[in-house]
Amino acid sequence: MISESGDLLLRRRQRKQYRFRPAALVLVSFAAILFQVYVPRFVEQLSYLELPLLVTVYFSLMRREPVAGVLIGSSIGLVQDSLSHNPLGMFGIVKTLVGYFAASVSQRFDVENMTIRFLLGFFFFFFHQFFYWVLASTLLGQQVGFDALQTLFFGLLNAAVAVPLFRVLDRL
């Protein structure tokens, strides 16, 4: 009986899989990258707002397909890499993992719940920053410090932005 109800719940969640128009997916991702490229020129503090990451998390969560998450994450990450001065693949690898894990997580949780969204936004920001630091230190040999407290703080800020942003993106 319990197993049947569990299956029903899982099936109901899977039915709510979102299908985005490709144009919307491309435009939103593009706008997020453009925001990161343009806006911090005037408000430097906003450079810590990782909109491309939040968009990756959102699309992966709502598509609920790990393969789609991988493709979305790697594409957004590679475009981000192209606009940075690091070798191509750094953001690509990190966002590929974020996309995969976000899509996998979405099959277990109710990702339309605001609290879950907040927690996932926070977790994936911290994971993204930490894994990027690990890659930069190990693969590129960069001597860059990792400020865990600051990352936690910016994680909270990003999560706070993620909740209303996801609400807006729900209407796509």
Partner 1 sequence: METFLNRYRNLTVLLVALLAQLVLLAYQVRSHGDVRLIRVWAVTGVMPLARVLEGVRSNTFGFFREYFVLLDVRTENERLKKELGTLKMENQFLKTELATADRAQALAAFQSRSPSRTLAARIIGTGTGANSKVVFLDRGSNFGVGKGMAVVTPDGIVGKVIASYPTASQVILITDPSFAAGVISQKNRIHGTLKGQGHSICMIDYIQNEENVAVSEWFYTSGDDRVFPKGLPVGQVKISRQGKMFFKEVLLVPSGLQQGLEEVLIVLEGVHQDIPEVPQTQQPLHLLPAPPRDPASGEAHGVLSGNLSTDADQMLDRYKRIGETQGHTYGVAGPKPPNFNVTPEPPKPPRAEPAKP
Is position 91 an interface residue for partner 1 (rule: CB under 8 A)? yes
Using CB under 8 A, which of 25, 28, 29, 36 touches partner 1?
36
Is position 59 an interface residue for partner 1 (rule: CB under 8 A)? no
Work out how close the CB of 115 gets to partner 1 at its nearest, in angstroms, rounded to a whole number: 26
The residue among 77 and 166 lying less far from partner 1, judged by its C-beta, is 77
Using CB under 8 A, which of 37, 134, 152, 163 touches partner 1?
37
97, two tokens: 């993992």
Is position 140 an interface residue for partner 1 (rule: CB under 8 A)? yes
DSSP-based helix, strand, coil % in the chain, nearest 5: 80, 0, 20
**DSSP assignment of 17-73, as one string?**
-----HHHHHHHHHHHHHHHHHGGGT-GGGGG--HHHHHHHHHHHHH--HHHHHHHH
Is position 66 an interface residue for partner 1 (rule: CB under 8 A)? yes
For the chain, state the CA radius of gyration: 16
CB 106 within 8 A of CB 34: no
Only one residue has tokens 């990027």, namely 132
Residues that bind partner 1 (CB under 8 A): 30, 33-34, 36-38, 40-41, 47-48, 50, 52, 66-67, 70-71, 74, 78-93, 96-97, 100, 104, 129, 139-140, 142-144, 154
